[in-house]
Chain A
Amino acid sequence: MSKVRQQPQYPQESESAQAGDTLLQVRGLEKRFPLSGDFLEQLRFEGGKLKRRQAFVHAINGVDIDVKRGETLCVVGESGCGKSTVARMVMGLLHPTAGEIRYDDRRIDHLSARQLLPYRRRMQMIFQNPYASLNPRMSIQQTLEEPLRFHHPDWSRQQILDKIGEVMVSVGIDPEWGKRFGHEFSGGQRQRIAIARALAVEPEFIVADEPISALDVSIQAQVLNLLMDAQERHHLTYLFITHDLAVVEHFGTRVVVMYLGRVCEVAETRTLFDRPRHPYTQALMSAIPRLDDDGPAHIKLPGEVPTPVNLPSGCVFHGRCPHANDRCRHEIPQLIETQGSQVACHAIEEGRL
């Protein structure tokens, strides 16, 4: 892990030999949320018979993701496509319905809270809303002190204080402010404190769930730079959830594009922005406003995102895809390697696109 920014690595190479290079491996991840309440609420009278009916929100439907050491893997997609759910399952805040999550080649999704404890120090999370992610009844000092005391019971008081001072300085918060409470800070400062809390336990992997989308635009760049500095200094790996493509272009090593709980396309940032392959990615990229936008060539997708309660058969995108054919309506496309990116699309596989 000598380099922070790794040279572009094409998925073909990494799949085979460099398993040790993969920090986080997600395979066949599925998550569905029950929609129909408890047992009694599921009973329905239909045609004179009592029937049990269950409905689910299919939030994640078979997601494969690899995060390599030292990279920033950005997950993009519109609201409700399951980006945050993936992040929460990786952190163990939600239990997957199916599939497995491996961290450093060990399966972690079925571990108990106690067995997960050693991983808690290695992987941390930064949340979207800095107004809710700091406990309103705890001072900044207490917020930062508690994780340290918990994970380092053998540390002396002075060691803990030194560490707190160090992380506060590293995120640009004056250590003198430790006595203050969260509500006394601005959104950007609170997010810095939340980052300090995550960094305090010296993790190697950070899941950031839209960490800047709740912030003022003028503050976003500061926090983003802070995250990049921290990455360089501590050799961090990021799983970065966002819907801001400008941030992805600036920040990401590789990009995962999600739609309705599935992965459409995985590619190096440059590759994806230069040549998006999947029809959905193409539509997404065409929606980025550009300065030289005289005659905008937006790809307009007909219709709306289908409901995740009744998933479309076959490719989840077929209802809105201009290139869909009969196969797309019946067969679920798998990720295939093509020219430096992985794409889940029959049209590309068949050479129609």
Chain B
Amino acid sequence: MTIAPTSSSTTSPSSRWARFRSSYLLYSFKRDWIAQVCFAVFVLLVAAAILAPWLASMNPYDLAQIRILDSELPPFWIDGSDPQYLLGTDAQGRDLLSTILYGARVSLIIGFGAVMLQALLGVTFGLLAGYLGGRVDAFLMRMADIQLSFSTLMVAIIVGAVIKATFGGAVYSEYAVFILVLIIGLAEWPQYARTVRASVLAERSKEYVDAARVMGFRAKRIMFRHILPNTLSPIFVISTVQIANAIISEAALSFLGLGMPETQPSLGSLIKSGFDYLQSGSWWITLIPGAVLIVLVLVINLLGDWLRDVMNPRLYKG
């Protein structure tokens, strides 16, 4: 029997799309209105943050556009508001809506960036610990234990303070986004490492891994090509939670004055900058960015919950 060469072509994108359309993921999404609302709000917030330079009425980073005389104007539904500033202005006369859009952008960049770094470190260490076992496992997991025994904020505060003291405030402000990504990314990798290790231990005992070893594949190939794709669902689930955590951590750090500088505020530093004016009646500077932060984190967490229920069959209707 001869075989036509076309008979064994690899999976085409169209069939991948077809598989997605018939997947349980989509089915469950269509039936869960909370997930739909959360997804819509999340997409809206992300889109608004990405499109901030086009949506915002002014650029809060541009000092030339800021008028200090317009500071502390209230939002539109309160007497004394300026229709130019829909949500009012902050203490420096920046349009609050524009600043929130730019701030959400910074928060999301730090959140995603930190989670990517966490995932990179955590997945690599988790795979190594779970697959190689023995001393490597013991060493990496004790490292993770030590790391977890410090709170994220404490590590971040110490590292942030050291960097600030070494290189000076100007350098810190300039590279604040990268430094925050680095700090939050380094502080939280054990979450990933532990989750990945647990699923690697479960996968490693399956016979397809033995089959790959019998084929003579090297450890790297088995870890990344065979085991990793089978541990993706817990990684996805933990990523959603971790993005929310990273955004909160960044906000907390900014609130403590170790995060984003005043000149390029994130949601956290915006909350902080308004905090001083809370008592004097200008509550909107703190509360409106705070509400945006809460909605963003809540939406991500609810999506993460939904994803966990879908991807872990043992928790169906749990």
| A interface: dominant SS | helix
Which A residues are in CB contact (< 8 Å) with B64? none
What CA separation (Å) do A133 and B213 show in the bound complex? 12
Tell me the A121-168 residues at the B interface (CB within 8 Å): 121, 124-125, 127-129, 132-139, 141-142, 146-147, 150-151, 158, 161-162, 164-166
Tell me the B217-261 residues at the A interface (CB within 8 Å): 217-219, 221, 225-226, 229-230
Judging by beta carbons under 8 Å apart, are A165 and B3 in contact? yes
Identify B5's interface contact among A125, A136, A161, A169, CB under 8 A: A161
Judging by beta carbons under 8 Å apart, are A125 and B210 in contact? yes
| B interface: dominant SS | helix
Identify A197's interface contact among B8, B211, B226, CB under 8 A: B211
Tell me the B58-85 residues at the A interface (CB within 8 Å): none
A117 at interface by CB-CB < 8 Å: yes
A179 at interface by CB-CB < 8 Å: yes
B1 at interface by CB-CB < 8 Å: yes
Judging by beta carbons under 8 Å apart, are B207 and A158 in contact? no
- Shortest C-beta distance, A11 to chain B (Å), equals 29
Judging by beta carbons under 8 Å apart, are A127 and B7 in contact? no
Judging by beta carbons under 8 Å apart, are A135 and B226 in contact? yes
What CA separation (Å) do A249 and B191 show in the bound complex? 54
Known pairs A133-B208, A179-B11; A162 contacts B3 (CB<8 A): yes
Which B residues are in CB contact (< 8 Å) with A132? 206-208
- Shortest C-beta distance, B180 to chain A (Å), equals 34
Please encode chain A, from 174 to 213, with 1 for each CB lying within 8 Å of some chain B CB and 0 for all others. Answer: 0110110000000000000010010001000000000000
- Shortest C-beta distance, A16 to chain B (Å), equals 33
Judging by beta carbons under 8 Å apart, are B8 and A165 in contact? yes
Judging by beta carbons under 8 Å apart, are B230 and A137 in contact? yes
If A125-B211, A146-B217, A169-B3 are given as contacts, then 12 extra A-B residue pairs at C-beta distance below 8 Å, sorted by A number, are A93-B210, A121-B216, A125-B210, A127-B207, A128-B207, A133-B210, A136-B208, A141-B8, A146-B225, A150-B215, A161-B8, A165-B8
Binding site for B on A (CB under 8 A): 38, 88, 91-93, 113, 116-117, 120-121, 124-125, 127-129, 132-139, 141-142, 146-147, 150-151, 158, 161-162, 164-166, 169, 175-176, 178-179, 194, 197, 201
Binding site for A on B (CB under 8 A): 1, 3, 5, 7-11, 15, 138, 206-208, 210-219, 221, 225-226, 229-230
